[in-house]
Each structure stands twice: as C-alpha cells, then as structure tokens.
Structure 1
Amino acid sequence: MTELLSDAKIVIIGGGIVGASTAYHLGKMGYSDTVLIERGKLTSGTTFHAAGLVGQLRSNANITQLLGYSVDLYKTLEAETGQATGWKMNGGLRLACNQERWTEVKRQATTAHSFGLDMQLLTPKEAQDLWPMMNVDDVVGAAFLPTDGQANPSDITLSLAKGARMKGVTIMEDTEVLEVLVEDGKITGVLTNKGRISCEKVVNCCGQWARQEAKKVGVNVPLVSVEHQYMITEKIEGITPDLPTLRDPDRLTYYKEDVGGLVMGGYEPNGIPWAVKGFPEKFHFSLLDSNWDHFEQLMELALGRVPALESAGVRELINGPESFTPDGNFILGEAPELKNYFVGAGFNAFGIAAGGGAGMALAEWVVNGEPPYDLWPADIRRFGQAHFDTDWVRKRTLEAYGKHYTMAWPFEEHKTGRPNRRSPLYDRLKEQGACFGEKLGWERPNWFAKKRQEPKDIYSFERQNWFENVGEEHRATREAVTVFDQSSFAKFKIVGPDAEKALSWICANDVSKKTGSLIYTQMLNDRGGVECDLTVVRLAKDAFYIVTGTGYATHDFDWIKRNIPEGLNAHLVDVTSGFAVLSVMGPNARKLLQKITEDKLDNDNFPFGSMRTIGIAGAPVMALRVTYVGELGWELHIPTEFAASVFESLSKAGEEVGLRNAGYRAIESLRLEKGYRAWASDIGPDHTPVEAGMSWACKLKGDMAFKGRSALEAQIKNGVKKRLCCFTVDDPNVVLLGRETIYRNGQRVGWLTSAGYGFTVEKNIGYGYVRCKDGVDMAYLKSGSYQLEVGTELFGCSIQFKPLYDPEMQKIKQ
C-alpha cells in the first residue's frame, strides 16, 4: 500500500479557473478538507492563454444566471482576497451587419430582457461613439450589455485560489495524479507521484485533458482540443482603458482592450484540431507555433472593421489549444458511469466568463448531489452512446467551433457525423421524402417533402420552407391518420421482486396498477421539481417497461438507477435498441389497425391508458394506447427485426383510410394545441407539477409516500409564485420561437418556455411561467392584461385556461 499523503473528503484535479473556483466555493461552504491537485502550476494548462472576455447572455435562463454570478463574484473578489483580478465592467457590444443578423440581435435583446439583463439596441453611430476606432459603414445596428466585461485569466484564477486557501483548502502544485482509486464501484482516493490521498469524491477539472483522464475510470467526457488564435497589438492611439469588449459575428471576430492596444481573435470556419494522436508530455505554460496563414482569413475580416490594425504593431499571435464540445456548451455534473466522480470541463473558450458560476454550481453539486438550479444544457448526462467515439466527437466539435459566430437559426440542425443511429425504417422514409433531424445521434424525420420538393431545411427567422408541409401533416393527424417513426424513444425495463416498490417511491403517479396498465408520471426531486417525464407500463408483477424522450436517455436512466432505494431488489436495463416504435395517430387509427390485426381494439377491450400485445404481420407488438398529439392513437413497440414488415403492412392497409407519414415538427404543433408539456422547456427540475398544472398526475389523494411529495403538499397549502400558462397571438405575421418576454399590465413577469403554431386553431401558441413574488393564483392570472415582446416589439396576446384543441369541439369522431 502506497504511503498515505493526506486524508481528504474531496479532491479536485486541475488548477485552472474552474478547478480554483470549485475549490474556492467548497471552502466557502465549509469543506476545508478539500485538496486541489495541479500537475504543473496553477493556470498552466489553458487558463493562462485565455482571452478573458466575460459575456453573460445565453439562450438559456439558468446558464445566463450562472454567467451573471461570475460577474457578481468578479466584482468583489479582489477586495475579498487582496489579489488583483484585472476585472473591468466596461460593457459588451455586439454588431449586426445585415438584416437577418439584426433580427437575431433583436431577438437576443428580447431574451436578455426576459432574463432580466439590460441589453440596449443602438444605432451604428451610437455604437461608434462607444467604440470610436471601428468602421460602421456596413453596420445595421448593435446591442450593448453594460454589465459585460473582461478579466485577466491568470490573476482571477490566483485570486480564487488564494480565497480557497484562506478558507482552509489545500492546493498542491507540481503534483501528478497517477490513478483515481476505485473499489467495488466506490471512489476511495487518488494516487499521486507524491503519495496516496484518501477521499470520497473526485472533481475532474482537467480542461482539454479531461476526456483522457476520465476514460481511465470508464467515464465519457465528450470534448476535444482545437487550436484557437488571437493577436495582441502594441498601443494604438485612441484605445482607452474603458473601451467595451466588441463581438463582430458577421466578421467572425472579437476584440478587447489590452494595455492601450487590442486583443483580436475569432472563430474561423475551418478550425484545426490538436492532439489528435495524444498530448505531448509536460505541456505546461506552453503554446503552439503561430499560424499566420490560417489567421489571415480573420485578419482580413478584422481590417475592414478596425482599419488601424493595418498599421498597428503586433506584439504576439497567441496559438493556444482549448477544449471544445460537440454542441458548444460546457460540461458539468456527476458522471453517470461512476458515483461521486464530477466533471467541470469543455468550456469552448468562455471558461473565464463561466468560471465563477461553474465553480459555484459544481461545488453545490458535489455537496448536495444536485446543482443549485436546472443546468440541463450543460449537464454531462445530455450525452450518450453517440459520443463515445472520439473521431465522431471531433467532427461534430469542429462544426460547432465553426458555428461559434455564425447565425443561430431557429430549428438549425448539425451536418457532421450523420447519419449515425438509424431506425430500421430510415432508408424507406428517406425514399418517401423524409427530412431528418438528429438527436443524441438518432436520425428522426422532422417533416416530409412533397413530390419534386427537396427534403432540405431552408433557415430563416420567418416561416421556414417546411411550414406548409407540417401544416398538412398536422391536419392529416387531426382529420385522418398518420404514422410517426419514434424508434428513437429511450426504453428501459425495471425488473425484480421489488420493482413496484422502487417505482412507487420514484414515481409521482401510482404505478401499483394491474398488469397491462399504462401510467403517465413524473419523477421528482426533493424540491418537487420534475426530473423525468415519462410513461410506465406494467408488464408483470415484477416487471415494468419505461418510455422516455430520445434526448433524455442517459439522464433518465441515471436518475432512476440512483434513486432506487438501497436494499431493494430491482434492476434497470436499457432496451432501447430492441424495439422500433411506430405511433399511429388520428381518428382513423383504430380503423387502420383493425385491418391488420385480429385483436380487438374497441374501447371496452382496449381502453385508453393500457397496453396489450397484439399480432401484426407475424410480429408480437406491444401496443400502448396513449397520445401526445391529442387524438385516438397507439404507440406500436415492435421488436426491431419485425419493424419493416409491420410498416409495410400499415402502409398497404393505410391507402383506404388516408394514411400519411408525419414528423416531429407536426408532433410539436399538435402537442402545443393540446397543452401537453415538454421536459427541458415547459417542465424540469426547477418546476413542480403544481406550478405546471399537472398535480392531477400525482398520487396525492392517498397517503402513499413518494420522492418530492412533501414539497408538493407545501405548495398546495401555501400557494405558488409561478404558474405555467398558455398564450395565443392572432397576428399571423408574428413568429413565436420561445424565450419571448411575457408582460402583465406592462410589467415583465416571465418568458415563453416553448412556442409554435397551431394549424387547427390557426394561432401562434406559447407557454411560459407567469411569476410574482407575492404569489400567483387564478384570480391574479385572470385579472391581468398580457403582451409578448417579440424581437423588442410588443404584441397583444390572450391568456388561455383550457386546452386550445378539443376533439368534440372540432367535431372529429374517434
């Protein structure tokens, strides 16, 4: 046994800004028995060469809140520790140089207003007044966020480290972690080149080395290294210390003041991967050779914006590799593969902006077992099987790197690494005009092209080219019958003599039903927040089948597995690949299915909320009578090898009843009309069933205990401060996309969590939480007058208290 060097509770590996911030916050929480280990010196990995821009606005409210926390921390850190940080709140400018970019910027400004940020829209002249050195001949407008700023990355990291030491945290430099020690699935310590440190928890903050370090203990961290360059100039006349940071996305470049000169860098479309064959030894405080040929494309774009660069002296062209991820968001959280192994990495060149907040969130995650608020866009569990192959990750990551400053179109899909995971029907649906989207590696039909129409998305902030196609698929579902290939659903089985007992604790709804019952349920955290939103089918006394969304496969499996009470004999298995799923939906669904099965499908023999195994085309099909579109329908869960035969049988019989293919964009339109909630937008860990109007799906009438019950009971007793509401806008020219700001009687009260167009009701539909610190009840909601801010313009809207679509009202017979 190696000599025991120290006895700690938590070990952080990596001394960059995120590791130092995590150590600082753990110390602040009283966890002085924390050790931070850095194999070189603090900041010697990628932090020391970061550019240091600190922006706040992201498309997600909580990620924006996390970045805002960084700003608040950096304001006060120097005074607390006595260590300089180089923090300046000099504001941030973002330019728009064409009408489409201006539309994007205006929508970003609305998002900022939704999240409480003061983003101001400026004319080109007003922008130039703030940044006199730039040419504005091509500028349409600009946005200014006064609370953005910049920092010195090394100084701010050393300040965080000093703060951590002041709170009792141990920091060990020039110490290499050789191995994370794991016994029987539990972390017991780390082995270093100086000895062994016992611990219960490990936090991987290794930056671009995080993937290779995590792989040693079987944890997948999908990131790769990409070369990133920026230029530092000599002093330029007219550059003042209070100059705002500047982002010029149409020219792919950014700028910040640096001792009277400028830092200028950017994101070229043809990024260069680094360390493809592995990392060099002892890459501390190290840079790559300057690549002027590659940087020239950015330099040419920058000269058109800042002509003074042409004659400015160049101090240095920094080429420092950094870690980037396949979706451009960073990676936080507890690894699903190993309990008590946490990750904070993959910061996509905004690690300084995120560092303060990410360290806070990681520290709370380590201590409390969950983040301070929903951080799903950064959660490590958003990844899955498609992200284990490094070559695939690199292709997708280089695409994301190249899109860093390109237009963020609504409904935009990635192109690289496709197709990857395919349904057995992929080729058939492609031949029939499917335009596919991708989620967690799965190819999924978004919509179907007509004859002589190319199945390709044409992006716009207006109605896109598929709008009419989706409208036809929507109406076919309402009026006849459609088939959706939903084979990408994540599917699990939980088996064992204690399966019911385990699910009864984890599920908010009652799963103790007879065999063949189908139960729609949420799974809650202790605050009552919705961690999972899924369907449970009872297969037998000791077996259940669970169906959840494609993108939540890793997350939901991990949540269920971790929350099976200790000592119960219940085992969770992922069976996703074993079953294809065809959803047959519409008033003619029964008529169609009855043509191809001898099993009885009438209400008496096959009621809503039940499962039966039926025979179709020689296949044993688990038929689930359930709907997410508001029509009569069945999900057909088919052993994968039978999927093609069942589809052929459906297609042939469907000719007489108007069957047509439909895709996921029609599902979204249909579910909005019916008021069905979507996890990760309308509901999530920060929203309870009471707030979302879903307490009807919770077993609150009896005395059955379940996780989160006490939180719901307290809300029912004391009231809530936010409620999910539906809003409609009649103006057909308005395009709702989500994140539009909700105003009640002229006061900002929230934002839309999801939005779209309802083709049956012919209205724009949006859902969002109306918030009030004094409480929100029905009287409060009904007494208000509402508007939505869309691209900085206000539009009148109506609040709705019932589902917009009712089959009886539409006189559609089932």
Structure 2
Amino acid sequence: MVDLPSTARVVIIGGGIIGCSTAYHMGKLGWTDTVLLERKKLTSGTTFHAAGLVGQLRTSANITQLLGYSVELYKRLEAETGLQTGWKMNGGLRLACNEARWTEVKRQATTAKSFGLEMHLLTPQEAQDLWPLMTIEDLVGAAYLPTDGQANPSDITQSLAKGARMAGVKIFEDTPVSRVIVEDGRIRGVETPFGVIECEKVICCAGQWTRVLAGSVGVNVPLVSVEHQYMITERIEGVTPGLPTLRDPDRLTYWKEDVGGLVWGGYEPNPKPWAVKGIPEGVHFDLLTSDYDHYSQFMADAIARVPALEHAGVKQLLNGPESFTPDGNFILGEAPELKNFYVGAGFNAFGIASAGGAGMALAEWAAKGEAPYDLWPVDIRRFGRVHQSTDWVRTRTLEAYGKHYTIAWPSEEMTSARPTRRSALYGHLQAAGACFGEKLGWERPNWFADLSVGEVAKDVYSYQRPGWWDQVRREHLACRNGAVLIDQSSFAKFVLKGPDAAKALSYIAAGNIDRPVGSLTYTQMLNVRGGIEADLTVVRRAWDEFYIVTGTGFATHDFDWISRNLTGNCQLVDVTSGSAVLSLMGPDARAVLTRVCPDDLSNIGFPFGTARQISVAGCPVLALRVTYVGELGWELHMPTDVAVTVYEALMAGGGVVNAGYRAIETLRLEKGYRAWGADIGPDHTPVEAGLLWACKMKSGLDFLGRAALESQIASGVNKRLAAFTVDDPSVILLGRETIYRNGERVGWLSSGGFGHTIKKPIGYGYVRSKGVDAAFMASGSYELEVAAERVPARLHLTPLYDPTGARIKA
C-alpha cells in the first residue's frame, strides 16, 4: 500500500528522464509541494533502453540553448547528488560523404558559430585521428563539436530523482494514474489505485503513454511509437573510453563507446510502427523481439565504415519502442485545450540530450505561467485539428523518422498523409500547374509550373539555387509589374463577438483596434515582457464584432493566446474552414478587380487599412485593403461555396498570374515585412523589431506589455533587427548565417532569401550589442558567414523596395 498525500500543488505523471528532470527543477524553484507518480519503476518505460548520445546543435538558437543547458546540468549533477551519471564530454563527430552533405555540414558549423557553440570543420584525416577505427576513403570532411558527449540514461534519471527528493519533492513508484480528474473545465486532481491526490496542475511526462492519457481529458498530443534498434558489441581492440560519439548520416548510422565496445544503431527509411492497436498492459522494462532481418540493411555500410565490426562479438541487438512525432521535434508546454495541464513527451530518440533543458523549461512554464524563452519549434500549440487523427500522425511520423539522417534540404516538403485539407480551388490550381506545399494539413500552392512549355510541378531541392528559382522569379516580377492571384484560404480566421469584445481586444492588442467599423489594423499581441506573442490583422465588422486573420501555422497558438487573455462578455470562434481567401496583388490589381466588381475601388473610396463588403462576380466578398508583398492589393475573403466563381471571374479577363507562397516570401523580404516564428516572436519586442509604429504608444491607452515597451524606450535595447544584402547574387542566404560587425560576431540571420527585383540575396537578423541604436548599426562594416565562408554585406534600416520607384520587366 502506497501512502500518498491527499493534496499537492503539482502532480508529475511519469518517472522517465523527462519527468524526473521536471521534478528536479520544480524542487529547485521551491515548488516542493510536488509529487511524481510512476506507474512501474523509474526509467522502466523507454528511458532505460535509450542509447544515450547527447548532441546540442539544432536549427533553432533557443532549442540549441535548451540542449546546452542539459550538458551543463549533466556536468555538475554527480557532484550535487553523489550518484554517478555516466556523463562524458568526449565530443561528437559528424561525417560528410558527398558534396551536398558537406555543404550541409558547413552550414551547420556556421549555425553553431551563430549560436555560440564551438564546432570545428575537419579534413578526413583529422576525423580519423579522433576516431581511428573508421575508414575515410569516401569522406569529404567532418565536423567536430567538442562539448557534445554521452551519458547513462538510467543513472542520470536516478540522479535527477535524488536531486528532486533532496529538494523536498515526493516520488512514488508502482503508482499508476488511472484518471485525471477534471470538473467544470478545471483540473481537480489525479486518481490512483491508492487514492486521489487533489492538485492545481498536472505535468504529463508519460512517454509513449501520453497520447492516450492526455486524450482522456481532451488534450491532443501527436505522437506514436516506433521500433528503434541498436547493437551492443563485445570489446573491440582500439575502442577507448574517450572515443567521441560518431554520426554517419550518409550511412544512416550513429556510434558511441560502451565499456570497450560499441553501441551503434541507425534510422532506417522503412521504420516499423509499434503498438498500432494500443500499448499492451504491463509493459515494464520490456524490450521487443530483435529483428535481425530488418537491421541487416545497415550492416554492409556499417562494416565498410568500421571494418572491426565484421569480427566483433555481439552482446545484444536491442529493440525498444520510442515515441516519435510528425515533425521530428519534441512536445512541450501547456495544453491549449485544458488550463494547467502541461506536456513533455515525444522526444524522437533524443530525450536524453533534451531532458535537462526540457525539464527546466517545463518546470518554469508550470511555475511562472510562461516558458523561460521562445520554444515555438517544440510548442504543443504548433499542432492542429489534423493531428487528432492517429492514422495521419502515424503516417507522417514514419516519414519523419525515415528522414532523421537524410539531408535536410532548404524548403523541403513532407510528402506523406497528403492531400488532407484542400481549398475549394485545389483542382483549378492543380490544373494550372501548382506545386503544392503543406502546412497544418492544408495544401497550399508554393509555385506554378508553366505546363504549356513542358515545366513539371515538382520540387527539385538544392543548397544552391533550387529547381523552382525561375518560376518564383516569374511570379515575383508579375506581382511587381502586373497582378497575381494567390490562394491563401488556409489563413487562420477567428471571429470575436460580444458587448465586451472591443474592450477585451483593445487590452490584448498593442495596436489601436478600437476604431470605426470598417477599420483594419495590423497589430502585435504582447506578453508582459513586451515579447510578440502574435502578429495579425484585425477588422472591425461591427461595434461588437471583430474579424481576426493570422498565419496558417499559428491557428492553435493564436487562438489559445487570445482566448486565455480575454475578459468580459465576448466569445472567440474559429471560422477558418468556412472562408476562402484570394489575395489579388500588384499595380494592376485595381484594374483587374474593377472588371468584376461594381463597387468604388478608388484610393479615396477604398483607402489602405480598411475593409468593406463588396460584390465580385455577383458574390459576397469581404475585401481587406492590405498587403504582405509591398504592392497595391486586396485580400478577398468569401464563403467557400463562391470561391471558384470569384477565382474564375478574376482570371477570365487575362492579365493575372497565379502565384504561390515562395513568391510571397521573396516579395516580403524586399519590403521588410516581418515573419512571426523567424524574425519576431516572444523573445522580440516591437522596439527591437522596428515595429513600434504599430503600437498605440501615443494614445495613452493601456495594453498588455506597454510597461515593458516604455522601459525599453527609456533605457535602450541590446538588439535591433536589420536587413542585410550581399552584392554577389550567387550567395544563398537561408537564415542562421553569422553576422559580423567590424570583425566581431554580433548575431545571426533570422530569415534569408533572394530579392528578384533588387537582384540580390537578402537576410534579416538582430544586431546584438549593449545599448545598440541606429547610429551604432549604421556605422559598422558588416560581413555574413555563409557555409563557413565570410562575404561582405550591407546593412539597411529601411525597406529595400519602394513600389513608387522604377520597376523591372521579366
């Protein structure tokens, strides 16, 4: 019989490394009234059979920072708790066996430098000097990160658990949670076979069991179980304790030293799902049946890389289930469906590397109500309704698993579980040559092939100019010189209605939305620190009704942010699926629209920053005079059942070109429009991002985050966003390139691309320096590091494109 407390402030479910790390950090924050419940024994789920490699570098600075925190924690944990962790900072090697992979590795080295990590590019011989057992005949080069390492997952978990207990957190094994108790939409406690624990908050770190447990209270956690195998060898001559971890992505394999032998495994392109019909009862320190036939696909390449394997003894081929997600990133944060229910799960076989930082972030999130910094790449709110389907999630997740070690091409699209969500115009666009991408299940046109001259609507990826370069240039220049039509039906759209709608929204929005009916406001929504939580458009439809438009991928996040911060008598409703959107943009947009619309479309009759109900080809359309490409234009919002009629009417008169999302990106870069999730986010304020003009600072009205902005205006800031151009048109900017000012590293690019009007590569990034201002930024000499090479760059503090200036012809 377990003697459980009847109450606790927080209950953590799951005693793997994530749950124990969260408990450890809750204790460090002083939340000692925390209880951790484990259904069996600590580590008995997936932690005990993890391989234990600890790498740090990711494509996000903040996720890299989170993994770096793990390393710092593991370095000091043994001294703190007295329990061994098996931590060894023996470094990590990554190999490149072809020129494309070498370009990727060089870009990773630049990313590491941008984020402050030490990473060295090595010759094949230098790599072999660090890892003498491998052959190098096919190597082009390698990268070495000296602060990477390896650990014993079970030992680290037990050490974290001891640290949690030392701080006063209570841990109970053999105590399954049979039910999370929710009453009137609020968490009341958890039920176990030994009684109920009343609590305020639940943190679910239940590994592959999380999806079902969270689903029982209406929370969607998109993960599934996949079999993952690795081999443990007997001792091998030449394997030394200091041998770095090794990743050989072109052979799909990884390696680490283990008591004089090797642990090695891989990520096969044909992974095997597990527990498709549900996880069996009683799984406890259980492994799956070894599948030598399936594993054999690695064998020839592995022996070719490490010939000593051919005669090495095999201790075990270990097969254990791991939880994986549709995009290969783990899942953290407070569930949008249920307040005070937090999730830490879906770690894609790098839970050991992530656990220290993930536990810290989860603990702070639960204790303080917000993440310690922007964690959007792993935020649970990046998912949506399409991810409620386990079949969809499993199909996409298996593709993501199979791409774990393939080259991560710029702008690469996933191909599985498609199409799912299609706009009413999908068939028309497909017939017109659309090459579609996918976002939150939506099929969206990325670019259009000219089928009449034999172009094929298929992506060809490259680290140089991609296969769609000429097509996007064509669409870009058509927008600058004529008119384009872009299907943006996937926009997330909400209606806020009620007598208190204006008052509530006015406090959440940094811009002035309390304006006359028909007004359109581009605004940010800020957190208490002034960070940008949302970047969207608000239309006032009536005195008590607002129409809100935001990006496709932010549907769940922005709805959650707005709804959680609303007060008074008003309701927020998602109307995305009921409304199609066609963006008509370009200097000829007014002439095109006038052909099929009898309403006054003049600049006086329909000025910028307003919205009106108009008639297009006899159909009702809400027209928003707004642009994200820097040209005259309208977003045309309409019921989905008239979208085809409106599209056909607009295209019928000629002079309009279909365009896609990749042209939007090149166009917005020239005009200096910010992208949330890249250039702006919760860690960036309007002062830092050059968006103070969009805030109602002169109004005297209060709004969430205002005090933080006033403080920054008074005291100055330590980073500011700027544009950068490179004169050499062959340079490819993708984002994460390092920014140098007068030879000193001062930041990295948050986004990058090419401006087909100005004919130059463009990047945006924050210049970081104490008390940075416009004079400081303008006075420096700048370079960008691109794939480990520095190129001269120019800094710009104003838009790169002026629509009143001279235009160029395609």
Alpha-carbon distance in 2 for matches of 1:742, 1:410 = 20
CA contact (8 A) 1:3 1:196 kept: no
Alpha-carbon distance in 2 for matches of 1:349, 1:165 = 27
Shift of 1:282: 0.8
Aligned pairs, number = 806
- Corresponding position of 2:180: 180
Alpha-carbon distance in 1 for matches of 2:132, 2:69 = 30
Q: Which amino acid aligns with 1:584?
A: L
- Corresponding position of 1:799: 795
Secondary structure in structure 1 of the residue aligned to 2:596: coil
Secondary structure in structure 2 of the residue aligned to 1:493: strand
Q: Which amino acid aligns with 1:458?
A: V
Deviations 1:313-359 (A, max 9, x none): 00001000000000000000000000000000000000000000000
Alpha-carbon distance in 2 for matches of 1:48, 1:812 = 62
Q: Does 1:530 align with 2:554?
A: no
Secondary structure in structure 2 of the residue aligned to 1:43: coil
Secondary structure in structure 2 of the residue aligned to 1:319: strand
Alpha-carbon distance in 1 for matches of 2:473, 2:774 = 33
Shift of 1:618: 2.3
Secondary structure in structure 2 of the residue aligned to 1:595: helix
CA contact (8 A) 1:25 1:363 kept: yes
CA contact (8 A) 1:4 1:198 kept: no
Alpha-carbon distance in 2 for matches of 1:620, 1:339 = 39
- Corresponding position of 1:125: 125
Q: Which amino acid aligns with 1:739?
A: R
Shift of 1:182: 0.6
- Corresponding position of 2:683: 686
Picking from 758, 762, 774, the partner of 1:778 is 774
Alpha-carbon distance in 2 for matches of 1:802, 1:711 = 25
- Corresponding position of 1:49: 49
Secondary structure in structure 2 of the residue aligned to 1:265: strand
- Corresponding position of 2:34: 34
Alpha-carbon distance in 2 for matches of 1:531, 1:300 = 50
Alpha-carbon distance in 1 for matches of 2:118, 2:385 = 40
Alpha-carbon distance in 2 for matches of 1:431, 1:604 = 38
Shift of 1:808: 1.5
* Residue pairs, 1:375-390, within 5 angstroms: 375-390=375-390
Secondary structure in structure 2 of the residue aligned to 1:177: coil
Secondary structure in structure 2 of the residue aligned to 1:85: coil
Q: Which amino acid aligns with 1:794?
A: R
- Corresponding position of 1:274: 274
Unaligned runs of 5+ in 2: none
* Residue pairs, 1:339-418, within 5 angstroms: 339-418=339-418
Picking from 557, 562, 565, the partner of 1:563 is 565
Alpha-carbon distance in 1 for matches of 2:685, 2:173 = 44
CA contact (8 A) 1:757 1:764 kept: yes
Deviations 1:349-407 (A, max 9, x none): 00000000000000000011111000000000000011010001000000000000000
- Corresponding position of 1:435: 435
- Corresponding position of 2:210: 210
* Residue pairs, 1:697-708, within 5 angstroms: 697-708=694-705
Deviations 1:745-803 (A, max 9, x none): 1111000001100011111000000001x210112111110000000000000001211
CA contact (8 A) 2:13 2:203 kept: yes
Secondary structure in structure 2 of the residue aligned to 1:691: helix
- Corresponding position of 1:463: 465
Alpha-carbon distance in 1 for matches of 2:155, 2:507 = 48
Shift of 1:811: 6.0
Alpha-carbon distance in 1 for matches of 2:674, 2:797 = 14
Alpha-carbon distance in 2 for matches of 1:264, 1:465 = 36
Q: Which amino acid aligns with 2:732?
A: V
Secondary structure in structure 2 of the residue aligned to 1:250: helix
Q: Does 1:520 align with 2:522?
A: yes
Shift of 1:145: 0.1
CA contact (8 A) 2:757 2:808 kept: no
CA contact (8 A) 2:437 2:444 kept: yes
CA contact (8 A) 1:529 1:685 kept: yes
Secondary structure in structure 2 of the residue aligned to 1:188: strand
Q: Does 1:265 align with 2:262?
A: no
- Corresponding position of 2:713: 716
Kindly, what percent of the aligned residue pairs are identical?
70
CA contact (8 A) 2:481 2:807 kept: no
Secondary structure in structure 1 of the residue aligned to 2:771: coil
- Corresponding position of 1:250: 250
- Corresponding position of 2:606: 606
Moved more, 737-746 or 775-784: 775-784
Alpha-carbon distance in 2 for matches of 1:459, 1:764 = 18
- Corresponding position of 1:80: 80
Picking from 740, 745, 750, the partner of 1:748 is 745
Shift of 1:4: 7.9
Alpha-carbon distance in 2 for matches of 1:682, 1:15 = 37
Q: Which amino acid aligns with 1:410?
A: P
Picking from 721, 725, 749, the partner of 1:728 is 725
Q: Which amino acid aligns with 1:524?
A: L
- Corresponding position of 2:501: 499
Alpha-carbon distance in 1 for matches of 2:3, 2:233 = 51
Alpha-carbon distance in 1 for matches of 2:147, 2:698 = 49
Q: Which amino acid aligns with 1:399?
A: E
Q: Which amino acid aligns with 2:233?
A: T
- Corresponding position of 2:448: 448
Q: Which amino acid aligns with 2:517?
A: T
Secondary structure in structure 2 of the residue aligned to 1:11: strand
Structure 1 pair 97–812 and aligned structure 2 pair: CA distance change class (3 A): closer
Alpha-carbon distance in 2 for matches of 1:283, 1:550 = 39
Shift of 1:6: 2.0
Alpha-carbon distance in 2 for matches of 1:279, 1:795 = 53
Shift of 1:810: 2.1
Q: Which amino acid aligns with 1:788?
A: L
CA contact (8 A) 2:4 2:194 kept: no
Alpha-carbon distance in 1 for matches of 2:557, 2:804 = 38
- Corresponding position of 1:486: 488
Alpha-carbon distance in 1 for matches of 2:163, 2:674 = 43
What is the RMSD computed on CA atoms of the aligned residues? 1.1
Alpha-carbon distance in 2 for matches of 1:581, 1:784 = 43
CA contact (8 A) 1:587 1:812 kept: no
Deviations 1:435-480 (A, max 9, x none): 0000000000000001211100011100011101100100000101
- Corresponding position of 2:764: 767
Alpha-carbon distance in 2 for matches of 1:469, 1:316 = 52
Shift of 1:616: 1.2
Unaligned runs of 5+ in 1: none
- Corresponding position of 2:620: 620
Alpha-carbon distance in 2 for matches of 1:595, 1:378 = 47
- Corresponding position of 1:100: 100
Q: Report the TM-score, using the length of structure 2 for normalisation.
A: 0.99
Q: Report the TM-score, using the length of structure 1 for normalisation.
A: 0.98
User: Runs ≥4 in structure 1, deviation > 6 angstroms?
Assistant: none
Shift of 1:812: 9.4
Secondary structure in structure 1 of the residue aligned to 2:344: strand
Alpha-carbon distance in 2 for matches of 1:727, 1:280 = 55
Picking from 794, 797, 804, the partner of 1:808 is 804
Structure 1 pair 587–446 and aligned structure 2 pair: CA distance change class (3 A): same
Shift of 1:285: 0.3
